[in-house]
Amino acid sequence: MQQELQSIWADPRRPRIYIIDQRFLPHRLVIETITSVEAMARAIREMRLRGAPLIGVAAAYGYYLACLHAERRGLDRKYLDEAARLLASTRPTAVNLARALKRQQQAVAGTVAAERSARAYACARNLEAEEIDCCRRIGQHGLTLIEGIHRQRPPTGPVNILTHCNAGWLACVRHGTATAPIYAAHERGIKVHVWVDETRPRNQGARLTAWELARAGVPHTVITDNSGGHLMQHGRVDLVLVGSDRTTRTGDVANKIGTYLKALAARDNGIPFYAALPASTIDWELSDGVREIPIEERSAEEVRRVRGLAGRRIREVLVPPRESPAANHAFDVTPARLVTGLITERGICPADEQSLRRLFPENSPAADNQSTP
Amino acid sequence: MQQELQSIWADPRRPRIYIIDQRFLPHRLVIETITSVEAMARAIREMRLRGAPLIGVAAAYGYYLACLHAERRGLDRKYLDEAARLLASTRPTAVNLARALKRQQQAVAGTVAAERSARAYACARNLEAEEIDCCRRIGQHGLTLIEGIHRQRPPTGPVNILTHCNAGWLACVRHGTATAPIYAAHERGIKVHVWVDETRPRNQGARLTAWELARAGVPHTVITDNSGGHLMQHGRVDLVLVGSDRTTRTGDVANKIGTYLKALAARDNGIPFYAALPASTIDWELSDGVREIPIEERSAEEVRRVRGLAGRRIREVLVPPRESPAANHAFDVTPARLVTGLITERGICPADEQSLRRLFPENSPAADNQSTP
- Name the residue of chain A whose CA is nearest to B267's CA: A264
Q: Would you call A319 and B234 a contact, using CB atoms and an 8 Å cutoff?
A: no
Contact A62, A103 (CB under 8 A): no
Confidence at B373, pLDDT banded by 50, 70, 90: very low
Confidence at B52, pLDDT banded by 50, 70, 90: confident
Q: Is the peptide bond before B373 cis (omega within 30 degrees of 0)?
A: no
Q: Would you call B233 and A295 a contact, using CB atoms and an 8 Å cutoff?
A: no
Contact A252, A289 (CB under 8 A): yes
Q: Where are the beta strands (DSSP E) in chain B?
A: 8-10, 17-20, 31-34, 159-163, 192-197, 220-223, 239-242, 246-248, 253-256, 273-276, 282-283, 305-310, 313-318, 331-334, 341-344, 347-349
User: What number of C-beta contacts closer than 8 Å exist between A and B?
Assistant: 233
Strands B17-20, B31-34: pairing kind: antiparallel
Q: What is the ipTM of this complex?
A: 0.92
In chain B, positions 142-201, which contact chain A (CB-CB < 8 Å)?
195-196, 198-201
The alpha-carbon gap from B322 to the nearest alpha carbon of chain A, in Å, equals 8
Within 8 A of B220 by CB-CB distance, chain A residues are 324-325
User: Which amino acid is located at B47 in the chain?
Assistant: M
- For B366, phi and psi rounded to 5 degrees? -60, -50
* Stretch B173-181: mean pLDDT: 96
Nearest alpha carbon to residue B279 among B119, B373, B138: B138
pLDDT tens figures, B325-348: 999 999 999 999 999 999 999 999
Q: How far apart are CA A118 and CA B126, in angstroms?
A: 82
CB atoms within 10 A of CB B62: 33
Residue among A223, A226, A325 whose CB faces B326 most closely: A223
Which residues of A form the catalytic set?
245
Residue among B229, B303, B332 whose CB faces A260 most closely: B229
Q: Would you call B198 and A198 a contact, using CB atoms and an 8 Å cutoff?
A: no
In chain B, positions 69-88, which contact chain A (CB-CB < 8 Å)?
none
For residue A366, what pLDDT is reported?
64
> Residue A157 has what DSSP assignment?
S
- For A41, phi and psi rounded to 5 degrees? -60, -40
Q: How far apart are CA B58 and CA A76, in angstroms?
A: 75
Residue B12, CB half-sphere, CA atoms under 13 Å: how many? 2
Best A296, A324, A328 member to test B by mutation, with max B CBs in 10 Å, is A324
Q: How far apart are CA A328 and CA B141, in angstroms?
A: 33
- Name the residue of chain B whose CA is nearest to A256's CA: B226
The alpha-carbon gap from B217 to the nearest alpha carbon of chain A, in Å, equals 11
Nearest alpha carbon to residue A261 among B233, B148, B354: B233
Nearest alpha carbon to residue B245 among B172, B162, B145, B142: B172
Q: Is the peptide bond before A278 cis (omega within 30 degrees of 0)?
A: no
**In the predicted model, is pLDDT for residue B2 greater than 70?**
no
Helix (H) or strand (E) holding A145: helix A116-152
For residue A96, what pLDDT is reported?
84
Within 8 A of B326 by CB-CB distance, chain A residues are 221-223
Within 8 A of B256 by CB-CB distance, chain A residues are 226
Within 8 A of B319 by CB-CB distance, chain A residues are 198, 203, 206-207, 306-308
Q: How far apart are CA A167 and CA B156, in angstroms?
A: 42
pLDDT tens figures, A253-287: 999 999 999 999 999 999 999 999 999 889 999 99
Q: Is the peptide bond before B26 cis (omega within 30 degrees of 0)?
A: yes
User: Which amino acid is located at B231 in the chain?
Assistant: L
In chain B, positions 288-347, which contact chain A (CB-CB < 8 Å)?
290, 295, 303-310, 315-321, 323-329, 331-333
CB atoms within 10 A of CB B300: 18
Q: How far apart are CA B210 and CA A372, in angstroms?
A: 52
Nearest alpha carbon to residue A208 among A169, A241, A175, A245: A169
For residue A367, what pLDDT is reported?
57
- Whether chain B has a CB inside 8 Å of the CB on A230: the answer is yes
Contact B366, B300 (CB under 8 A): no
The alpha-carbon gap from A83 to the nearest alpha carbon of chain B, in Å, equals 33
The alpha-carbon gap from B331 to the nearest alpha carbon of chain A, in Å, equals 8
- Whether chain A has a CB inside 8 Å of the CB on B217: the answer is no
CB atoms within 10 A of CB A2: 12
* DSSP string computed for B114-160: GGHHHHHHHHHHHHHHHHHHHHHHHHHHHHHHHHHHHHHS-TTSPEE
A74-83 own/partner pairs: CB under 8 Å, 24+ apart: A74/A113, A80/A105, A80/A108, A80/A116, A83/A37
Within 8 A of B225 by CB-CB distance, chain A residues are 200, 224-226, 258
The alpha-carbon gap from A13 to the nearest alpha carbon of chain B, in Å, equals 35
Q: How far apart are CA A100 and CA A183, in angstroms?
A: 27
User: Which amino acid is located at B58 in the chain?
Assistant: A
Per-residue pLDDT of chain A (373 residues; tens, 9 = 90+): 444 679 999 998 999 999 999 999 999 999 999 999 999 999 999 999 998 889 999 999 999 999 999 999 999 899 999 999 999 999 877 778 999 999 999 999 999 989 999 999 999 999 999 999 999 999 999 999 999 999 997 777 999 999 999 999 999 999 999 999 999 999 999 999 999 999 999 999 999 999 999 999 999 999 999 999 999 999 999 999 999 989 999 999 999 999 999 999 999 999 999 999 999 889 999 999 999 999 989 999 999 999 999 999 999 999 999 999 999 999 999 999 999 999 999 999 999 999 999 999 998 776 554 444 3
Nearest alpha carbon to residue B193 among B184, B182, B202: B182
Q: Would you call B224 and A257 a contact, using CB atoms and an 8 Å cutoff?
A: yes
Strands A192-197, A17-20: pairing kind: unpaired
Contacting residues for A64 by C-beta, under 8 A, at least 6 apart: A104, A117, A120, A121, A123, A124
> Residue A296 has what DSSP assignment?
P
For residue B156, what pLDDT is reported?
79
> Residue A12 has what DSSP assignment?
S
Handedness of CA A48, A54, A59, A65 (dihedral sign): negative
Q: How far apart are CA A42 and CA B256, in angstroms?
A: 39
Angle, vertex CA B21, rays to CA B20 and CA B23, nearest 5: 135
Q: Would you call A230 and B333 a contact, using CB atoms and an 8 Å cutoff?
A: yes
Nearest alpha carbon to residue B289 among B319, B326, B244, B243: B244
Within 8 A of B231 by CB-CB distance, chain A residues are 329
- Name the residue of chain A whose CA is nearest to B332's CA: A230
Nearest alpha carbon to residue B158 among B195, B199, B130: B195
Contacting residues for A236 by C-beta, under 8 A, at least 6 apart: A160, A195
Strands A192-197, A220-223: pairing kind: parallel
Contact B281, B246 (CB under 8 A): yes
Catalytic residue among B245, B252, B283, B332: B245
Q: Would you call B305 and A306 a contact, using CB atoms and an 8 Å cutoff?
A: no
> Residue B297 has what DSSP assignment?
B
Helix (H) or strand (E) holding A18: strand A17-20
In chain A, positions 261-280, which contact chain B (CB-CB < 8 Å)?
261-262, 264-265, 268
